[in-house]
């Protein structure tokens, strides 16, 4: 074969691999976009025990055609404390079975020429995309068409390269003893490294099928590559969980342990297991190139893509059947390896914001990331109420040292709220760059509004603290009646904050008119009290009960509490999309 022809075929092979990976990514993302809310519901509700969790992992992975998506999605759920570690392990086991459907689809693509079928799919997809109501379906069809076009092109490229007739290629692979354990380990490592490098087990599986079906790569080495892919693909979820919570990192480690353990035990019975699968498919493992004519050998080798898919399925099903009974033991093992973090006081970096539920590494499943952000916003709201608690304490403190300490806490708390708002906003902006459903886009807009209003509550708290600090150093003091009025106003503001947190911790997205009514009733009480106190304040100044400066300080405290109540209403209305 001429060098220029070989270069062209190699470039075509890489282009076909790119089409395949892009098509699978497009198909997976579109499915997540269309079924994001349903997937969240399924993962959240269908994991009551290890078997329903297993079934959930199979169904979701088969639906979105990406075990990586399901695994990262599951890690995200653990990070957001929506799934327990044991539930997550069962889902991950199911994801390993569900992903075998991809191998069967690829096997079908290598068994017969399917490229002729993709052209009508492109036309239909284009029509659907221009009809905006069916845009997602069109994107999905485009993904399928690109995937099958990539598979068909890979198949034809393998035929055109005629690898089975290339002495250099044949001599290279024949230099490895197929019965040697060291050869198996070598190809297992190659499969793992390739998968880690390209971050796509599908691409490595496609290359393996080309090599095997052309008769170049013996089945034992091909199977070793497949096992290496199983290990390499676990790196994605572990990388995603590096900056996540301890439980999320444990879930990712459990995924790696599951695949590593499976590879270890299958190595002890590798050849009998492969012979069993080959016999089931009808592939003759004893046939060699020299023992039969060329056509018969290639016809036998053509079955290897089916053998690889069948092995992938049998391996994952058998491994799951073995380990599903030991989920509690796996949970204890990963907990022993990854211990709980204990952050001692003063060890954290000054000014650092430690978010509990979200981190940039887990945005690979944007529909699920919204749930994490929602929980983080709930934490933010609780922190703001705690900050207001410090402000209320500040109002009654008389000792100068205690007052200064409390004032510093409020000051730091307000600064922390500013940075928390920015961190959550950055995360939401990162999520919004992904393919999202209209419902999810609306939720992101709502949360951006929520964190802005919550941060404004933090500003109100700081303004109250500054007024109190100014009042402490002033000669003009509030009288007992003014102090009681401010305390009354603060009690109502705290009641509003409590109601806000009740709403924020309600995971239902359906507008609750009763909760809105309660929030607005409290705001009405705050407004009425503010109006009454301002009127009384003017009368008191006119009657010389206290001077104008004292009255101004009193009014500032009352009005700032009223502003805080307005911000609370804005948060609740944003939560329900009002």
50-64 vs 3-45: helix crossing angle, rounded to 10: 140
Closest CA to 413 of 450, 452, 460: 460
Distances (CA, A) of 161 to 148, 271, 293, 380: 20, 30, 20, 59
Residues 545 and 412 in one domain: yes
H or E stretch at 85: helix 85-98
Would you state the pLDDT for residue 476? 73
Q: CA 149, CA 117: separation in Å to the nearest integer?
A: 9
- Let me know: does 414 contact 457? Beta carbons within 8 Å: no
Residues 321 and 393 in one domain: no
Average pLDDT for 312-320: 89
Closest CA to 561 of 490, 456, 501: 490
Top mean-pLDDT range of 76-85, 250-259, 343-352: 250-259
Average pLDDT for 144-148: 80
Would you state the pLDDT for residue 5? 73
Would you state the pLDDT for residue 133? 72
Q: Which domain holds residue 423?
A: 360-575
User: Is residue 38 pLDDT above 70, yes or no?
Assistant: no
Maximum alpha-carbon separation in the chain: 116
Tell me, yes or no, whether 470 lies in a domain: yes
Identify the residue with better confidence: 64 or 559.
559
Question: In the listed set 335, 370, 391, which residue is the last one of a domain according to the structure?
Answer: 335
Question: In the listed set 335, 370, 392, which residue is the last one of a domain according to the structure?
Answer: 335
Identify the residue with better confidence: 560 or 233.
560
Residues 104 and 34 in one domain: yes
- Percentage above 90 pLDDT, the chain: 17
Take residue 475 and report the two structure tokens written for it. 């000669």
Top mean-pLDDT range of 177-181, 455-459, 545-549: 455-459
User: Helix (H) and strand (E) counts for the chain?
Assistant: 23, 0
Tell me, yes or no, whether 354 lies in a domain: no
Take residue 336 and report the two structure tokens written for it. 């022993």
- Let me know: does 315 contact 305? Beta carbons within 8 Å: no
Band (pLDDT 50/70/90 cuts) for residue 108 is: confident
Q: CA 160, CA 174: separation in Å to the nearest integer?
A: 21
Average pLDDT for 46-66: 70
Q: CA 107, CA 95: separation in Å to the nearest integer?
A: 19
Q: What is the pLDDT of residues 208-256, one digit of tens each?
A: 887 777 777 788 888 888 888 888 877 766 776 676 667 777 877 888 8
Residues 192 and 325 in one domain: yes
- pTM attached to this predicted model: 0.63
Distances (CA, A) of 286 to 26, 40, 265, 315, 466: 41, 49, 24, 22, 86
Identify the residue with better confidence: 236 or 21.
21
Identify the residue with better confidence: 193 or 521.
521
Take residue 24 and report the two structure tokens written for it. 């699978």
Q: CA 244, CA 372: separation in Å to the nearest integer?
A: 11
Q: What is the pLDDT of residues 165-196, one digit of tens each?
A: 666 666 777 777 777 888 888 888 888 888 87
Q: CA 296, CA 163: separation in Å to the nearest integer?
A: 16
Q: C-alpha angle 327/329/334, rounded to 5°?
A: 95
Output the average pLDDT for the chain: 80
Band (pLDDT 50/70/90 cuts) for residue 349 is: very low
Residue 144: Cβ-neighbour burial (10 angstroms; 0-12, 13-18, 19+): buried
User: Is residue 197 pLDDT above 80, yes or no?
Assistant: no
100-111 vs 304-323: helix crossing angle, rounded to 10: 170
Residues 465 and 560 in one domain: yes
Question: In the listed set 319, 335, 351, which residue is the last one of a domain according to the structure?
Answer: 335
Residues 74 and 130 in one domain: yes
Would you state the pLDDT for residue 497? 93
Identify the residue with better confidence: 200 or 332.
332
Band (pLDDT 50/70/90 cuts) for residue 472 is: confident
- Lowest mean pLDDT of 2-6, 337-341, 528-532, name the range: 2-6
Average pLDDT for 101-114: 72
Residue labelled with tokens 């796996």? 330
Count the helix, strand and coil residues of the chain and give each as a percent rounded to the nearest 5.
80, 0, 20
Q: CA 158, CA 147: separation in Å to the nearest integer?
A: 17
- Let me know: does 28 contact 61? Beta carbons within 8 Å: no
Residues 320 and 375 in one domain: no
Would you state the pLDDT for residue 66? 62
- Let me know: does 29 contact 65? Beta carbons within 8 Å: no
H or E stretch at 184: helix 181-198
Tell me, yes or no, whether 330 lies in a domain: yes
Number of domains in the chain: 2
- Percentage above 70 pLDDT, the chain: 80
Residues 424 and 496 in one domain: yes
Tell me, yes or no, whether 341 lies in a domain: no
Long-range contacts, 4-13 (Cβ 8 Å, 24+): 6/161, 9/157, 9/160, 9/161, 12/153, 12/157, 13/154, 13/157, 13/158, 13/161, 13/210
Residues 373 and 301 in one domain: no
Distance of CA 214 to the CA centre of its chain: 39
Tell me, yes or no, whether 369 lies in a domain: yes
Residues 316 and 426 in one domain: no
Residues 261 and 364 in one domain: no
Residues 193 and 271 in one domain: yes
Q: CA 442, CA 438: separation in Å to the nearest integer?
A: 6
Tell me, yes or no, whether 355 lies in a domain: no
Long-range contacts, 262-266 (Cβ 8 Å, 24+): 262/230, 262/315, 262/316, 262/318, 262/319, 262/322, 262/323, 263/188, 263/227, 263/230, 263/231, 265/319, 265/322, 266/227, 266/315, 266/318, 266/319
Tell me, yes or no, whether 497 lies in a domain: yes
Alpha carbons within 13 angstroms on the beta-carbon side of residue 411 total: 10
Tell me, yes or no, whether 343 lies in a domain: no
Identify the residue with better confidence: 288 or 303.
303
Take residue 310 and report the two structure tokens written for it. 């069948």
CATH number, position 433: 1.20.58.220
Return the SS3 of 345: coil
């Amino acid at each position: 074969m001429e060098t220029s022809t070989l270069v062209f075929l190699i470039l075509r092979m890489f282009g076909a691999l790119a089409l395949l990976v892009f098509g699978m990514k497009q198909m997976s993302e579109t499915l997540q976009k269309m079924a994001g809310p349903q997937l969240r519901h399924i993962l959240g509700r269908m994991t009551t025990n290890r078997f329903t969790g297993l079934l959930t992992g199979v169904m979701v992975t088969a639906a979105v055609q990406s075990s990586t998506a399901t695994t990262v999605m599951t890690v995200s759920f653990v990070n957001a404390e929506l799934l327990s570690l044991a539930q997550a392990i069962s889902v991950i086991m199911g994801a390993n079975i569900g992903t075998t459907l991809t191998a069967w689809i690829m096997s079908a693509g290598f068994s017969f020429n399917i490229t002729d079928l993709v052209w009508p799919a492109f036309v239909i997809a284009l029509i659907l995309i221009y009809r905006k109501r069916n845009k997602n379906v069109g994107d999905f069809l485009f993904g399928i068409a690109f995937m099958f076009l990539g598979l068909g092109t890979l198949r034809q490229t393998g035929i055109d390269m005629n690898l089975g007739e290339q002495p250099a290629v044949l001599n290279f692979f024949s230099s490895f003893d197929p019965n040697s354990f060291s050869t198996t380990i070598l190809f297992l490592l190659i499969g793992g490294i390739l998968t880690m490098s390209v971050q796509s087990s599908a691409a490595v599986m496609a290359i393996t099928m080309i090599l095997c079906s052309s008769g170049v790569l013996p089945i034992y080495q091909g199977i070793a590559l497949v096992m290496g892919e199983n290990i390499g693909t676990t790196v994605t979820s572990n990388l995603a969980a590096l900056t996540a919570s301890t439980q999320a990192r444990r879930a990712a480690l459990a995924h790696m342990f599951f695949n590593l353990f499976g590879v270890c035990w299958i190595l002890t019975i590798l050849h009998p297991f492969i012979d069993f699968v080959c016999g089931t498919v009808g592939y003759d493992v004893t046939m060699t190139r020299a023992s039969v004519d060329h056509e018969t050998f290639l016809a036998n080798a053509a079955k290897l893509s089916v053998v690889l898919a069948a092995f992938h399925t049998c391996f994952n099903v058998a491994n799951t059947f073995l380990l599903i009974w030991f989920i509690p033991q796996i949970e204890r093992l990963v907990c022993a390896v990854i211990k709980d973090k204990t952050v001692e006081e003063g060890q954290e970096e000054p000014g650092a914001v430690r978010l509990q539920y979200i981190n940039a590494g887990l945005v690979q499943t944007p529909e699920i990331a919204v749930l994490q952000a929602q929980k983080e916003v709930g934490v933010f709201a609780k922190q703001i109420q705690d900050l207001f608690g410090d402000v209320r304490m500040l109002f009654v403190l008389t000792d100068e040292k205690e007052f200064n300490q409390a004032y510093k806490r409020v000051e730091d708390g307000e600064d922390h709220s500013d940075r928390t708002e920015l961190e959550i906003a950055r995360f939401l902006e990162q999520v919004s760059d992904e393919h999202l459903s209209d419902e999810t886009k609306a939720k992101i807009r709502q949360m951006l509004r929520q964190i802005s209003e919550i941060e404004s509550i933090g500003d109100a708290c700081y303004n109250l603290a500054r007024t109190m600090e100014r009042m402490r150093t002033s000669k003009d003091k509030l009288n007992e009646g003014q102090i009681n009025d401010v305390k009354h106003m603060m009690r109502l503001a705290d009641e509003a904050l409590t109601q806000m947190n009740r709403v924020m911790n309600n995971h239902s997205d359906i507008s609750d008119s009763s909760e809105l009514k309660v929030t607005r009733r409290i705001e009405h009480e705050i407004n009425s009290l503010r109006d009454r106190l301002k009127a009384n304040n003017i009368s008191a100044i006119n009657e010389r009960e206290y001077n104008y400066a004292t009255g101004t300080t009193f009014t500032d405290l009352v009005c700032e509490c009223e502003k805080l109540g307005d911000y609370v209403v804005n948060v609740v209305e944003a939560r329900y999309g009002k």
